[in-house]
A = this chain, B = another copy of it.
Amino acid sequence: MAINFQDKCRELGISPSITRKKIYEFLDECKTHPTADEIYRKLVVSLPTLSKTTVYNVLSLFLEKGLVEIINTEATEKRYEISNHPHSHFHCKECHQLFDVPKISIMYNKDKMPGFQVSKEEIYLIGICPSCSKKI
């Protein structure tokens, strides 16, 4: 983990409980943009009393504090990621995995969008990932 979780919590005024730490660490290490259920299933092994409610509680706290973000997807379930590194997303049509790819810069003409104040840009690419390319 790049920045100490305890320090982040202190900054944000929340307590660094073991549950929160494990959820944060898992999100930080995990490359698969997990759903709440995936986080739960992974962590319940080492935290046997963990409940899904707690996962939801912690994720909603993290969202509020800006520690994590929800990724826009077509699906109804929500996927989460740590909001610390700028990047774009690539969705594979074959295996439906969601990959991180280097941040893509965009260019737009502000004159064509009068009055719209842009504070964030998200780029989502769709196609075939390297390993699926080989299979086809």
Contacts and interface: CB of A to CB of B under 8 A. Distances in A.
A58 interface: no
A68 to B, nearest CB: 12
A109 B104 CA distance: 8
User: SS class of chain A's interface: helix, strand, loop or mixed?
Assistant: strand
Interface string A104-136: 111111001111111111111111111101000
Contacts of A123: 106, 121-124
Interface stretch (A9-17, A19-27, A73-81): A73-81
A90 interface: yes
Interface residues of A, number: 41
Interface in A20-45: none
Contact of A129 (B106, B116, B124): B116
Of A115, A117, A126, A128, the most chain B CB neighbours within 10 A belong to: A117
A28 B122 CA distance: 25
Contacts of A105: 106-108
A117 to B, nearest CB: 4
A116 B93 contact: no
Interface string A78-91: 10000000001010
Interface of A: 70-74, 76-78, 88, 90, 93, 99, 101-102, 104-109, 112-131, 133
